[in-house]
Amino acid sequence: MKFMQLVLTNDGSHTVYLPELNESYHSMHGAVTESKHIFIKSGLNACKLTSLNIFEMGFGTGLNALLTWLECRKQGMKIYYRTIENNPLGNDVIKRLNYGQVLGLSRGDKSVFRYMHDAPWDEDIEVDKHFVLSKNHGNLYDYNLHGKIDLVYFDAFSPDRQPDIWKYEIFERLFRAMNAGAILTTYCTKGKVRRTLEAAGFKTETLPGAPGKREMMRAMKASSPGSE
């Protein structure tokens, strides 16, 4: 496991900082604020489905899974949430994450977050009757993207730090595993990433970014690669 530090972001919520990469898991303008904006408001809430398969690139702190579970309960959706992680957080970091406190969660809901982290890897875990969590311990490069995905949370480290993950081969595999009309949402708006997504078959759009960032990007699988 790589050395990690827990740091506070501007909305009072934690993020993880990796000195080795000189990169944090979230925007320093606010981890919870950013995740809600990019993944919940611009992703989950933009899907018009009541039952959906989500794939998250990078489980990390579990913040996106927690926010998705809270939203799915609020909206009465059914969600199968699959995520991949090659460098799980240590228990010393997990137990100090302050998302429950920042989000004002009840003791029961805080224990669900803990349950998500304690859940075994590589198994389908029924968190409740609306939400199944499948945490996969491995590398996205080798992961078999089976199933029909409706929504992708593409939450990798930035292309400057992790260029290999923003490549055509990855986006093309995701595209093939996604249903027509499915959405991929990401904080990254780099022109090169946009062109790569489009080459893999996605239609892209620029949306207002989370506080502190001008823009974000959403990509949609309209139909098959190369066609309108």
Q: What is the binding site for ligand SAM (CB under 6 A)?
A: 25, 35, 58, 60-61, 63-64, 84-87, 139-141, 155-157, 165
Closest C-alpha among 46, 26, 52, 67 to residue 155: 26
Shortest spacing between CB 58 and ligand SAM, in angstroms: 2
Give whichever of 150 and 155 is closer to ligand SAM, judged by the CB atom.
Answer: 155
Q: How far is the CB of 111 from ligand SAM (least distance, A)?
A: 19
Q: Which is nearer to ligand SAM, 184 or 227 (CB)?
A: 184
Helices (H), the chain: 31-35, 63-75, 91-94, 99-102, 107-118, 168-177, 191-199
Enter the tokens of residue 92. Answer: 């010393």
- Closest to ligand SAM by CB, 60 vs 201, is 60
CB of 186 vs ligand SAM, minimal distance in Å:
10
- Shortest distance in whole angstroms from residue 140 CB to ligand SAM: 4
- Cβ distance to ligand SAM smaller for residue 65 or 220: 65
* 83 bridge partner residues: 56, 135
In sequence order, the β-bridge partners of residue 153 are 56, 185
**Distance between CA atoms of 19 and 26, rounded to whole angstroms?**
14
